[in-house]
Amino acid sequence: MPNILLIETATKVCSAGIARDKVMLSMREDHSMQYSHSSQLTSFIDDVVKEAGLTFKDLDAVAVSKGPGSYTGLRIGVSVAKGFCYGLDIPLVSINTLYALACVARETLPQQPDFFVPMIDARRMEVYNAVFDTNLNPIRETMAEIIEFDALKEFLQHGKVALFGDGADKCRETLNHPNAVFADNIVPSVTGMVDAAFEKFSLSQFEDVAYFEPFYLKDFVAGKPRVKGLD
């Protein structure tokens, strides 16, 4: 029964957990939206390992949310994951953030839609999104998209479409359709990574720790620093 350390830092949520044989043993999350990953993540990991009654030598793999999402958040999560993999000589598994978010939604929503559309804020009016069917099979791949009135119409015309994640609020007015169902308070979490992590582990679908990079989808663009008094 492998023990897998799970790390999710692709958005403002900082989440870490330990799972064994697809059962979550311990978990720590911060939903304060303060981008506190750099100060909290390693502390969360220490806590969940101890709460699970394990030591770091008991870990068999690390699973990390690979994106898309925040450039800084992804860098922190992947860097920490790689550090544990190198130090413990264990494999690295990566999970698409939008898929993991859809898994959270499927376990959370009281009524199952015909389509799951997780959305992550990509700044301005753009969102990262993908479309999954009721079995969470991808039917439209991950993309960065500016949501306009006719977005997702091929799905909205054929059934209920659940939209969730921190990018969904941008679409409430634009996607004014009776089949659009906006679900609140669904955020990325290591709980959505468990099944995929163990499936990949069983199939030995591991990343090359030396060369693995997060799935940014878009190039990072640094903003110009503000000068006090000239804002």
Range of 165's domain?
A: 98-182
91-96 mean pLDDT: 98
Same domain, 138 and 157: yes
Report whether pLDDT(126) > 60. Answer: yes
Report whether pLDDT(227) > 90. Answer: no
In the prediction, which pLDDT does 23 show?
Answer: 97
Same domain, 52 and 117: no
* 231 lies in some domain: no
User: What is the DSSP code (8-state) at residue 50?
Assistant: H
In the prediction, which pLDDT does 42 show?
Answer: 95
In the prediction, which pLDDT does 111 show?
Answer: 92
98-120 mean pLDDT: 97
* pTM, two decimal places: 0.91
Distance of CA 86 to the CA centre of its chain: 23
Percentage of the chain beyond pLDDT 70 is 93
191-218 mean pLDDT: 95
Report whether pLDDT(27) > 90. Answer: yes
Report whether pLDDT(85) > 70. Answer: yes
Same domain, 128 and 140: yes
Q: What Rg do the C-alpha atoms of the chain give, in angstroms?
A: 18
Report whether pLDDT(9) > 60. Answer: yes
Q: Exposed, middle or buried by CB within 10 Å (0-12, 13-18, 19+), for 187?
A: buried
When divided into structural domains, the chain yields a total of: 2
* 155 lies in some domain: yes
CB 41 within 8 A of CB 9: yes
Same domain, 17 and 91: yes
Token digits of residue 60 = 């068999």
* 217 lies in some domain: no
80-105 mean pLDDT: 98
Q: What CATH number is associated with residue 66? A: 3.30.420.40
Higher pLDDT, 157 or 217: 157
CB 87 within 8 A of CB 59: no
Same domain, 103 and 177: yes
In the prediction, which pLDDT does 208 show?
Answer: 98
Report whether pLDDT(221) > 50. Answer: no
